Amino acid sequence: MGCGGSTPAAAKPADTDVKSTKPTVVSGKPDAPAAAKESKPGAPPLAAGQLYDFEKLSTDNFLNLPRLPIPPLEDTIASYLKCVTALECSPEELSAHTKLVEEFKNGVGKELHEMVVAGDKHEGYPYTYIQETWDKMYNGLRCTAPVNVSPFFGLQDRPGTQTMRAAQFVHSFTKWTRKLRDGKLEADGKGKMCSSAFKPIFASAKCPHKGMDTLVQYPDSTNIIVLAKGNLFSVEVVTPTGEVLDALCIAAVMDAKCLSAPAATNNIPILTSEDRDKWAAAHKVLLADAHNAELMKKVDRGIIVVCLDDTPMPTLQSKAECLLIGPGDNRWWDKQMLVVGSDGHMGLTFEHSYSDGTIWGRFINEVMSDIEGKPSGVSALDRSSSLCEVTKGKCEELKFNLDKTVLDAIEAAGVNYKTLCANVEQKATQFTMFGKNLFKTWGTSPDAAVQMAYQMAFYKLHAKVAPTYEAAAMRSFFQGRTETIRSATPDSLALCKAYAAGAKGEELTAKYKAACTNHSAVTKAGLTGKGIDRIFTAMQKMAEKKGGALPALFTDKVFTHSKNWLLSTSNGSAPWIDLFGFGAVSGDGYGIGYLINNNDISFNISAYNDAPDTSAAKLTECLTETLMALKDAFEPAANADAHLSVQVSDPSVVVAKKMDEAVAHAAALADPKALAASKVSASLAAQVAIGAAHKDPGCMVLTINCGSSSLKYALFEVISNTSAKCLVQGLVEKITLDMGKLTHTDEESGLKTILEEKYADHSVALDKVVSLLMDPTSGRVKNASDIKCVGHRVVHGGEKFTAATVIDPSVMAAIHEAAALAPLHNPANIKGIQVATQRFSCPQVAVFDTAFHMTMEPAAFLYAIPYDLYKNDNIRRYGFHGTSYLYVSEATATALSKPVDQVNLIVCHLGNGSSMCAIKRGKCVDTTMGLTPLEGLCMGTRSGDVDPALHRHLAKTKGMDADAVDTLLNKQSGLLGLCGDSDMRSVQTRAAAGDKQAQHALGVFVHRVRKYVGAFMVALDGHLDALVFTAGIGENSALVRELVCKDLGAMGLKLDTARNNSAKGYSVISASNSQHKILVMPTNEELSITLQSAKLTGVAPTNSGGGGGPRGRGHQHEW
């Protein structure tokens, strides 16, 4: 990724006359006692709790860290010659170069090294022997900022609208900058890592000047810059009293002002993508106008730039493309940028001249942890915020005065940027077969393991060694930035040659371990200031200062080749990050940013299309093959050890990345020797053996609940028309995305298999499920014919279906027709039916969510609109979650010892999708959802009830068409719209911490439920047997149940707090003096679908069995 430096935060090196002091060191740990530190005579003392003076953060060595050491010349030469032998020079070239190096060491090199040492004997700037050189190098670069000096981090995806996700980040980031500015940011590494590079991370800008750029910073800044459709806006996010605006206010301003503006006609931002001297010339012309100068200062002052893009970033590949380059009219490359796709996915692009990846990883962790309400490992950010009215959110559009010179420069910059973008090739990949955990079982450092894989893959593709750069952070020294780790070593060369020659097994693993061990030693040297590249650069700079011809070593082709980084690599592993990337530093090389996680590796490989020999796609393919070849080589020994280690920690769980690993692990668990070796109890061994063995198939029914990117399934053995035993349940998530996840659980043995890999579509996912079900070692199904029928959850059946139905072409046509009424659900259900029909020849049954509600009377299901719309177009209230209500009503009747046709219930199905149902004598008389699942309660992302005139209002005031309003109400509203979080668990956590938005969201959710409890009591004529809570939130949130039932004594409903708080599974939570029962009843839609399907198709055994009463295990798909 190249080397970074802490550029002075001013037009010239800042505070160069200020001498460093040696203050009393205060621990950087969050629980460290507050203490004041020493300061210079005449300087104001630090306040209690203040760790440093922000203004002196770059100059005051408040942690008392050592100065960056200068490696001895002899050590540098020895290390260099060792690296050179890995470059496959001819014997003649190597001999001649070695002689040249020795002459340098004994001659001019000694003099230059002494000059470097002598020049480092001072206080003040530069604080290291290399700092000034690196600052001038970065500020003097004349190449474009995009691709060359603007690395990026992709942030892990979370649900949310574009503006709300952006606003949440801005809100938390601004709070973090206050923590930094106020001297309260704890030092990394238990107080042993330099904090100086944090100083210019916000409210700073790299200003273009001919020949040499400068850095400016405004720590007291209160505004951010927002880019939308090429327009520039300055948005105030800090109040005059110093409070950070709430995310809701910031999002409202972005929606009302930034996104509503028409596309820009003059593309000012594109100028920042230009060659620095060209941008400097245009910049100078702009600043000649006083109005423009004032606007440019506002841009420079911005805490951060927020780029609201018109396009989504749904995949790692699209994220990489948007972050490394993206739309040139919507980027400001002189500043740090938050890029937010139209789908709410986010990433950060940073100006590398004055900051490095570890600095960014730190603040990303704190900011994202604050957003998600999770601990960050250091002190939490201030949770207070200002909820100002939207009209008070100050937003100014920045419109520059442009003359012909600038307009011509804009046009030229646009052409040049398109050329740059067209020349960049990227391949973003998530390798999901294994990661850090497996590398550790090989006895290697995870980073070394990946670096050697890069060497091997490059050698396989190009048949030569790649001079390789990897960044080593030197933050253990004051003002230390990075050193080069030269990953190409003699040991790595031996490894590459053996791999190319077809070495396998122990022959390959022995060379691999030796290369990894050597790489770890080289890494340690870099981290401790003993690398070779920084000192060589410093000596070359001294030679240039002397004047005259450079020493022959510096111009020798072997020396220059050794620094031509054909592989420029950097490990950006940190919490909350899913992608890291940058441009290749060599025109004929690659840039590789990577993240090593426990069970996967993500890497982004970049190259240039005009380089005839490079291909990011081919190198990615070779890298994947290499990693798998290494796994195969280690398999006999390392994987057995890995299996045993998993058994010791959790013998019922298998974490695997592909099928053969899952099978091998299951077999190992069933093997008495393996079980003995891992000290697993005999009882567990018996459980596993039972789970792995084939049993008499009996009558098996498979249930499928297909979502747009998920496939939930369960396998039941049907005992009778009223009972069935669950054998297997599972869930495939993130189908079609870069990395999917399949969780498969054998209910009898407890054996769990987790497969993380790409599932291209539902067909691929179901094939994987079938292979698990029919696995010879651990599967439950011998033959596909053992499955007697497949039951499908179908959300909408319209009026045509009042019960479960065997699927034929006419039924499929009707389901397609009803898709217009459930566009988020029916198409996904149809996918599941189509795929299952191809895999199984047995009957397929559709169980409709709407069927249970077909008993409603016209007074309940008709809308008060022209009757012809119902008669001719079937527009009416249908209701949903019917399968859940059918199961819960029957299970509750059993629990109350009453026939189902004699119970009156109010059932609250509360999950990410929520609804309620009034059940009178076992039949639905009213429900909260209507024509679609949008009506009724506040939900995770759905609004529930709104004024129908809202649609017209949004169309008039926001220019939103029907599709946009539909998206808003279905995907961007509910809890998510109110507080930016759709998960009730997070909402509750935030509300408990005092988060006002979360408190409002929780309040709206509960209020809607309480309102319908009262309405449904009337629908039941006051005759109620039980108020029942079910589904994810209903079953798991004691707080929601408590708030819903609060002060309902007048309605005969009194909650027992102790019972409520301890409720698990089926529970009675009403007080002993409550007139009506209050219950928690876990739903089991899969069991209901199974029994309905078996009964309809006649496949259930005729022997009698137990009833379908309450069960302890609940369905938690939506929690």
The catalytic site residues sit at 849
* Residue appearing with tokens 């948005």: 235
Greatest Cα pair distance, the chain, in angstroms, is 103
The answer to whether residues 844 and 804 touch, using CB atoms and an 8 Å cutoff, is: no
Phi/psi class of residue 130: alpha, beta or left (left: φ > 0; alpha: ψ in -120 to 50)? alpha
The DSSP line for 573-617 is: --TTEEEEE---SSTTSEEEEEEE-SS-EEEEEEEETT-TT--HH
> Cis omega (within 30 of 0) on the bond before 126?
yes
- What is the 8-class DSSP label of residue 432? -
* Residue appearing with tokens 């996904």: 828
Residues forming a β-bridge with 397: 233
CA distances (Å), 116 to each of 110, 260, 1001, 1033, in order?
Answer: 10, 57, 62, 66
Strand 1077-1080 versus strand 1026-1030 pairing type: parallel
For residues 753 and 730, give the distance between their C-alpha atoms in angstroms, rounded to a whole number. Answer: 9
Residues forming a β-bridge with 906: 918, 1027
* Residue appearing with tokens 């203040």: 50
The answer to whether residues 212 and 9 touch, using CB atoms and an 8 Å cutoff, is: no
* Residue 620: φ, ψ to 5°: -60, -45
For residues 801 and 811, give the distance between their C-alpha atoms in angstroms, rounded to a whole number. Answer: 9
Picking from 793, 807, 805, 883, the residue whose alpha carbon sits closest to that of residue 840 is 807
Element (H, E) at 988: helix 984-992
Both tokens of residue 977?
Answer: 């719209």
The answer to whether residues 206 and 350 touch, using CB atoms and an 8 Å cutoff, is: no
Q: What is the dihedral of CA 57, 59, 64, 66, to 10 degrees?
A: 130
Q: What interhelical angle do 108-119 and 91-106 show, nearest 10?
A: 50
Environment class of 802 (CB within 10 Å of its CB; exposed 0-12, middle 13-18, buried 19+):
middle
Environment class of 12 (CB within 10 Å of its CB; exposed 0-12, middle 13-18, buried 19+):
exposed
For residues 684 and 669, give the distance between their C-alpha atoms in angstroms, rounded to a whole number. Answer: 9
For residues 491 and 295, give the distance between their C-alpha atoms in angstroms, rounded to a whole number. Answer: 56
Strand 723-733 versus strand 740-746 pairing type: antiparallel
For residues 583 and 148, give the distance between their C-alpha atoms in angstroms, rounded to a whole number. Answer: 6
Q: In whole angstroms, what separates CA 443 from the centre of its chain?
A: 29
Residues forming a β-bridge with 742: 732, 755
3-state secondary structure 108-143: HHHHHHHHHHHHCCCCCCCCCCCHHHHHHHHHHCCC
For residues 422 and 415, give the distance between their C-alpha atoms in angstroms, rounded to a whole number. Answer: 11
For residues 417 and 419, give the distance between their C-alpha atoms in angstroms, rounded to a whole number. Answer: 5
* Residue appearing with tokens 């059993």: 894
Both tokens of residue 500?
Answer: 């190319």
Picking from 862, 837, 850, the residue whose alpha carbon sits closest to that of residue 787 is 837
Q: In whole angstroms, what separates CA 190 from the centre of its chain?
A: 27
For residues 853 and 868, give the distance between their C-alpha atoms in angstroms, rounded to a whole number. Answer: 22
Picking from 385, 377, 370, the residue whose alpha carbon sits closest to that of residue 176 is 370
* Residue appearing with tokens 């170069």: 97
